[in-house]
């Protein structure tokens, strides 16, 4: 076991049973002209974590530990996208409509791809999820069970939506979850802070949180 200094108390990481999950580091959320930008958000906040996520990926890859990437992605005919999801909000360009990087949040479109600096390597799992959480309608839980994964380290965006939903889903399925605080981000600083507080409250009711430096120190020692 590797002991990571985390909040609310140390997180014990078993190398043989741990996977990294990088949530939705897609062009649609991170680059101008994508879905996040269409909602009126400052996408530069999310782009700022790319180097830290890359460093976290390098740590796992150097040790041969499993890496999972997720994308919020819908079928081209939008048959897996509830009409309420398309209709919600006041975005000028909605899910499935054409933007500067193709149809928003649609599989195979340029904007739906993971940013180049964090691109998956051969053999790394890529999960296209129709919802906010990574377990719903994806078969991921069954795949992780086959691999003997019991612990999940999380990075990605946005902290309060897809990352938190995936952590809560994982917690309900018995996974021990650690969020790397400087490898996740929100369009709203206060939402990120509130999410980390909720995740670690009451003795880690959802999971643990720690900066990348704490994980690196624990692994190196």
- What residues contact 18, with CB distance under 8 A and at least 6 apart? 65, 66, 149, 150, 151, 152, 153
- Choose the catalytic residue: 81, 129, 177, 192: 129
- Choose the catalytic residue: 24, 37, 132, 192: 24
Q: Say if CB 53 and CB 183 are below 8 A apart.
A: yes
- Determine whether 24 is an active site residue: yes
Q: Say if CB 150 and CB 141 are below 8 A apart.
A: no
How far is 78 from 47, CA to CA, in rounded Å? 27
Query: Strand pairing partners for 13?
Result: 2
Angle at 72 between CA 78 and CA 91, to 5 degrees: 70
133-180: pLDDT as tens digits: 999 999 999 999 999 999 999 999 999 999 999 999 999 999 999 999
How far is 20 from 22, CA to CA, in rounded Å? 7
pLDDT confidence band for 33 (50 / 70 / 90) = confident
> What are the φ and ψ backbone dihedral angles of 120, each rounded to 5 degrees?
-60, 145
pLDDT confidence band for 183 (50 / 70 / 90) = very high
- Determine whether 37 is an active site residue: no
The structure tokens 């600083």 sit at: 189
Task: Quote the percentage of the chain above a pLDDT of 90.
Answer: 93
Eight-class DSSP state of 73? -
How far is 19 from 82, CA to CA, in rounded Å? 30
Amino acid 35: pLDDT: 85
- Determine whether 81 is an active site residue: no
44-84: pLDDT as tens digits: 999 999 999 999 999 999 999 999 999 999 999 999 999 99
Task: Quote the percentage of the chain above a pLDDT of 70.
Answer: 100
Eight-class DSSP state of 17? G
* pLDDT greater than 90 at residue 93: no
What mean pLDDT value characterizes the chain?
96
* pLDDT greater than 90 at residue 91: no
Q: Say if CB 158 and CB 70 are below 8 A apart.
A: no
- Choose the catalytic residue: 28, 81, 132, 162: 162
Mean pLDDT to the nearest integer, 81-88: 93
* pLDDT greater than 90 at residue 92: no
Q: Say if CB 48 and CB 30 are below 8 A apart.
A: no
Count of Cβ atoms closer than 10 Å to residue 169 Cβ: 19
pTM, whole model, 2 decimals? 0.96
Amino acid 39: pLDDT: 84
Query: Would you mind telling me the total number of residues written for the chain in this entry?
Result: 221
């Amino acid at each position: 076991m590797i002991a990571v200094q985390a909040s609310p108390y140390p997180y014990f990481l078993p190398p043989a049973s741990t996977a990294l999950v990088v949530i939705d580091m897609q062009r649609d959320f991170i680059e101008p002209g994508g879905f996040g930008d269409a909602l009126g958000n400052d996408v530069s906040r999310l782009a700022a974590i790319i180097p830290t996520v890359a460093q976290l990926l390098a740590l796992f890859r150097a040790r041969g530990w499993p890496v999972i990437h997720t994308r919020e992605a819908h079928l081209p005919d939008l048959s897996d996208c509830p009409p309420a999801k398309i209709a919600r909000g006041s975005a000028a360009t909605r899910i499935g409509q054409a933007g500067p990087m193709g149809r928003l949040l649609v599989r195979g479109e340029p904007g739906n791809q993971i940013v180049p600096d964090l691109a998956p390597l051969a053999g790394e799992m890529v999960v296209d999820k129709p919802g906010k959480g990574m377990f719903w309608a994806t078969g991921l839980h069954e795949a992780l069970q086959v691999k003997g994964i019991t612990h999940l380290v999380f990075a990605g965006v946005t902290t309060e939506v897809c990352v938190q939903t995936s952590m809560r889903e994982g917690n309900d399925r018995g996974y021990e979850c650690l969020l790397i605080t400087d490898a996740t981000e929100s369009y709203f600083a206060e939402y990120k802070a509130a999410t980390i507080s909720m995740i670690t409250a009451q003795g880690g009711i959802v999971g643990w949180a720690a900066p990348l430096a704490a994980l690196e120190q624990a692994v190196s020692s």
